[in-house]
Amino acid sequence: MLQRRKNRLGFWGWLGGGRYGPDRYAYSLHRLTGLGILAYFIMHIFVTGQRLGGQQRWEGIMASLGSPTVRAGEFLVVLAFAFHAANGIRLVLAELGLLIGRPGVPAFPYSYSALRHRPVLIAAMAVAALLAVAGGVDLYFGMH
């Protein structure tokens, strides 16, 4: 019986694994930001739930979470949301078969869905950048 050696990429396959197009890295980033947002969200449910404890409890928590480090962390969440939302809208459109082209007869050099879809990816990144800048501007004004 011939021995087989495992050659699966594993997690490295999620992060890269070759000279692939931007869509593949958008996938990795989408997953990463999703996990980050989920972690923040679950914590957020408990923190905002503290408003049930009245004014003193609430203001105590807000004071302890008002430091610049925490605000910078919140800005990271805003960044993550900006990317995840913009990319997510793109994915909703693409996975419903919109803006990815139609099947036809392949002729060399081959076009393909992700390539035809590239302008949509660029537009989504532009939207994400805009939202990130807006969040950053707000953070700046909030600190000064």
Please state, in angstroms and rounded to a whole number, the distance separating the CA atoms of residues 87 and 22.
Answer: 12
Tokens of 3: 């021995």
Nearest residue (CB) to another protein, 27 versus 129: 27
Cis peptide before 109 (omega within 30 of 0): yes
Nearest residue (CB) to another protein, 112 versus 126: 112
Nearest residue (CB) to another protein, 12 versus 69: 12
Q: What's the angle, vertex CA 108, arms to CA 19 and CA 25, rounded to 5?
A: 20
The distance of closest approach from Cβ of residue 69 to another protein in the complex, given in angstroms and rounded to an integer, is 16
The distance of closest approach from Cβ of residue 53 to another protein in the complex, given in angstroms and rounded to an integer, is 8
The distance of closest approach from Cβ of residue 115 to another protein in the complex, given in angstroms and rounded to an integer, is 8
